[in-house]
Amino acid sequence: MTSALVTGGAGFIGSHLVEVMVKRGVKTRVLDNFSTGKRENLAGVEGQVEIVQGDIRDYQTVRSATEGIDIVFHQAALASVTESINDPKLSNEVNLDGTLNVLLAAKDSGVQKLVYAGSSSAYGDAEALPKVETMRESPISPYSVNKLAGEKYCAVFSKVHGLQTVVLRYFNVFGPRQDPGSLYSGVISLFITKILNGERPVIYGDGEQTRDFVYVENVVMANIFASVSKVGGGEVFNVASGETISIYELLGMVQELTGVHDVKPIFREMRKGDVRHSLADVGKAQQAFGYWPVVGMREGLGRTIEWYKEKA
């Protein structure tokens, strides 16, 4: 791989991926409309990457951005279940129409491989745990429908057009640069910032719902390993830690690592579209391209807390 395009490259996950690409000597281009991504996320690679400000909903913009590119990492999305329920049309335009544009542009530009950021929401609220890639999908929100349809497009483009594609189903990604003020923020960034500010964090539901949280560095390495591997054909892989923790237990761990123990949560009604339990089997990705979550939950949480402290 000598050149790469990261759509959504100024975002939380995308910017981490861009940094590693640059460190590896890969000529890297970023396509971002900066609706949720931030230029400050790319400050560490300023002058070392080409930044294209544009929207994946515009085919010509994406076609231009894919010109001369070997690998596309498609990270751009509106990653909010709640917002997809409130505005399903916008969610569909970005997450599905935008993905189709990226696939078309990659095909038309002669891109070698596209790595697609899928979502564990494709599994829906299926009770069986852990989630394995052979399970029947059961999306329960417009967002999860969009992301799952994007997966199917990846498989079809591989079969019909010969574009090599890989789907990585992200579970609950966390780490530095996750914006707690965003509509698309994760619970960890919200917990940390609330506690550090002496405010009461909000738990939706009873707190007994569980999640498989995965540190962003692990997700970046999964993308890189998948991009240089022989897998393709729209094959789907879970990217997670393979461990589960309840939201209430998570809050306790954040309190322990921050040293703030006297903040009580506010409980609110569980949000529509939220799944009850989530846990991944990551064995398929491990066997196929050597993925393993090297940074564990506790270490990743500690790193994330330190980053938020420095930013405060």
Q: What is the pLDDT along the chain (312 residues), one digit of tens a residue?
A: 799 999 999 999 999 999 999 999 999 999 999 999 999 999 999 999 999 999 999 999 999 999 999 999 999 999 988 899 999 999 999 999 999 999 999 999 999 999 999 999 999 988 899 999 999 999 999 999 999 999 999 999 999 999 999 999 999 999 999 988 765 568 999 999 999 999 999 999 999 999 999 999 999 999 999 999 999 999 999 999 999 999 999 999 999 999 998 889 999 998 887 889 999 999 999 999 999 999 999 999 999 999 999 987
CA nearest neighbour of 147 among 80, 216, 86, 212: 80
Do the beta carbons of residue 65 and residue 29 sit within 8 Å?
yes
Q: Quote the pLDDT of residue 312.
A: 77
Instruction: Round to whole Å and give the CA distance between 287 and 229.
Output: 11
Measured CA angle at 169 (ends 291, 308), to 5 deg: 80
Q: Quote the pLDDT of residue 184.
A: 58
The token pair at 230 is 């022989």
Q: Quote the pLDDT of residue 183.
A: 58
**What Rg value do the Cα atoms of the chain yield, rounded?**
18
Helix or strand or coil: residue 215? strand
Ordered structural domains, the chain, with CATH: 3-174+213-240+281-294 (3.40.50.720)
Helices (H), the chain: 12-23, 59-66, 81-86, 88-92, 98-109, 142-161, 187-196, 216-228, 247-258, 283-289, 297-311
Do the beta carbons of residue 182 and residue 131 sit within 8 Å?
no
pTM score, whole prediction: 0.96
Looking at residue 141, what DSSP letter applies? S
Instruction: Round to whole Å and give the CA distance between 189 and 218.
Output: 17
Measured CA angle at 265 (ends 139, 267), to 5 deg: 50
Active site residues: 143
The token pair at 47 is 């002058």
Instruction: Round to whole Å and give the CA distance between 218 and 191.
Output: 21
Do the beta carbons of residue 75 and residue 33 sit within 8 Å?
no
CA nearest neighbour of 183 among 77, 297, 26, 61: 77
